[in-house]
Amino acid sequence: MKTIYLDNNATTQVAPEVLEEMLPYFYDLYGNPSSAHKFGGQIARKINNARDQVSSILGASPEEIIFTSCGSESDNTAIMSALNIEKEKMHIITSRVEHPAVKALCSHLSKKGYRITEIPVDREGRFDMDKYSESLTTDTAIVSLMWANNETGVIFPVEEAAQMAKDRGIIFHTDAVQAVGKIPINLKNSSIDMLSLSGHKLHAPKGIGVLYVRKGTKFSPFIIGGHQERGRRGGTENTAGIIGLGKACELAGNNVNVEKTRVKDLRDKLEKGILSVIPNSCVNGGEADRLPNTSNISFEFVEGEAILLLMDEFGVCASSGSACTSGSLQPSHVLRAMGVPFTMAHGSIRFSLSIYNTEEEIDFVLEKIPPIIERLRSFSPFWKKEARA
């Protein structure tokens, strides 16, 4: 059975060009970039090349790039660094819809005495700028806001928010794990101090991430060890991963236009096709500025995990914000923060596309989904009641 992969916000396939670029560094070219000999030295040059590639997709300079092991490490490093620098400040601002890498860290920090303000979002998942503006205080050590939401694709006005933080002398970090490669980013003239990205969301492998730290931003390392990354992140480099990420960034830079045209067209086709055929369905965050690849659709009166598993029978991969999928008992914190009613939240499915998806795949999904929803609704006690009412 063919796999139709519409779960690219969870992870992506490694691009063939990326894999090809990486392979020699697992076997033939296994040297340590820190070594004095030429065998190792050639790896160091390759890593510098990757650093150039990564910095250019961000509009940054190479020395502003720190390679890490993943997006979560980058997020943790950024926030803990700011708290170490601003030792006397005890306030952190974030949003109610952050990824667990930020959200769980903040709730951990709240137990250690930090005050956390989670800025709310509206019904479409849009950031509340007024609340944000009122929350910036002299005690605020850092603002950490995601650039784009992993579940809905809703984009936050991070550059504007960063400027407001800068005007008040507050460090600003953004988790841009879902944004990089999908929308154009240029940090050159922005006020963003730190930015996290993750390799496996843009067709590089898992286990490689980046923390961008603007030149002049005070920084305190998270992993203390060797002199790697100019003493800002100890630990022998993940050479193959770094080289793969460099290539992936180069490709993503070239493909950003494909994202906003072809990928977006496919996403829109999927969305319109579903909404026009299936009653009581809606797009969560559909009115907001969104990533071109993401669609979060709720099917009222049915449960998400059941939908996912029935789709899985046809090889269609997606994810759900329902409680049962995650193993928690509440639907996703993102949908709850948006005030999506329970009737809708439990039946939410996230489709996230990539440049590798085709029109045939979307057509196939559009053919399979309506009978799945119909079938589950046929024995849902609420569907019948609602239909009668």
Partner 1 sequence: MWEYSDKLKNHFLNPRNAGEIEDANAVGEVGSMACGDALKLMMKVDENGKIQDAKFQTFGCASAIASASALTEMLKGKTIEEAEKITNQDIADFLGGLPKEKMHCSVLGQQVLEQAISRYKGEAPKEQEGKIVCECFGVTDLEIEKAIKENKLTTIEEVTNYTKAGGGCESCHEVISKIIASVWAEVFPVIKPRLSNIQKIRMIEETIDREIRPSLQHDGGDIELIDVIGNRVLVAKRGTCAVCKASQQTLKNFVELKLRELVSPDLVVEEVPE
Residues serving a catalytic function are 324
Distance CA 325, CA 377 (A): 18
Please, which of residues 320-339 interact with partner 1 by CB under 8 A? 322-325, 327-331
Complex with partner 1: residue 4 or 242, whichever CB lies closer = 4
- Helix/strand/coil percent split, the chain, to 5: 45, 15, 40
Q: How far is the CB of 384 from partner 1 (least distance, A)?
A: 7
Residue 221: both structure tokens together: 């390392």
Please, which of residues 367-386 interact with partner 1 by CB under 8 A? 378-382, 384
The residue within the footprint of partner 1, chosen from 242, 303, 350, 372 (CB under 8 A), is 303
The residue within the footprint of partner 1, chosen from 299, 301, 351, 369 (CB under 8 A), is 301
| DSSP code, position 315 | T
Distance CA 77, CA 220 (A): 8
Complex with partner 1: residue 264 or 336, whichever CB lies closer = 336
**Under a CB-based contact definition with an 8 Å cutoff, are residues 176 and 185 in contact?**
yes
Q: Is the dihedral of CA 32, 37, 42, 46 positive or negative?
A: positive
Burial letters 83-99, b for 16+ CB under 10 A, else e: beebeebbbbbbbbbbb
Q: How far is the CB of 97 from partner 1 (least distance, A)?
A: 18
Complex with partner 1: residue 128 or 305, whichever CB lies closer = 305
Complex with partner 1: residue 35 or 328, whichever CB lies closer = 328
Q: How far is the CB of 341 from partner 1 (least distance, A)?
A: 9
Complex with partner 1: residue 16 or 327, whichever CB lies closer = 327
| DSSP code, position 53 | H
Complex with partner 1: residue 11 or 34, whichever CB lies closer = 11
Distance CA 205, CA 228 (A): 21
Sole window of 55-63, 92-100, 166-174, 306-314 interacting with partner 1 (rule: CB under 8 A): 306-314
Distance CA 3, CA 54 (A): 30
Count of residues engaged in binding partner 1, rule: CB under 8 A: 27
Complex with partner 1: residue 43 or 302, whichever CB lies closer = 302
Sole window of 87-95, 169-177, 236-244, 318-326 interacting with partner 1 (rule: CB under 8 A): 318-326
**Under a CB-based contact definition with an 8 Å cutoff, are residues 316 and 365 in contact?**
yes
Q: How far is the CB of 113 from partner 1 (least distance, A)?
A: 20
CB atoms within 10 A of CB 206: 15
The residue within the footprint of partner 1, chosen from 17, 52, 122, 305 (CB under 8 A), is 305
Please, which of residues 106-145 interact with partner 1 by CB under 8 A? none
Complex with partner 1: residue 217 or 348, whichever CB lies closer = 348
Where are the strands (E) in the chain, listed by range?
A: 4-5, 65-68, 91-95, 115-119, 140-146, 171-175, 194-198, 209-213, 281-283, 294-299, 316-317, 319-320, 348-352
Q: What is the DSSP string of 85-108?
A: HTTT--EEEEETT--HHHHHHHHH
Q: What is the DSSP string of 204-273?
A: SPTT-EEEEE-TT-----SS--SSGGGGTS-S---HHHHHHHHHHHHHHHHHHHHIIIIIHHHHHHHHHH
Residue showing tokens 């950031």: 127
For 387, phi then psi, to 5°, come to -60, -40
**Residues in the site for partner 1, rule: CB under 8 A?**
301-306, 309-310, 313, 322-325, 327-331, 342-343, 346, 378-382, 384
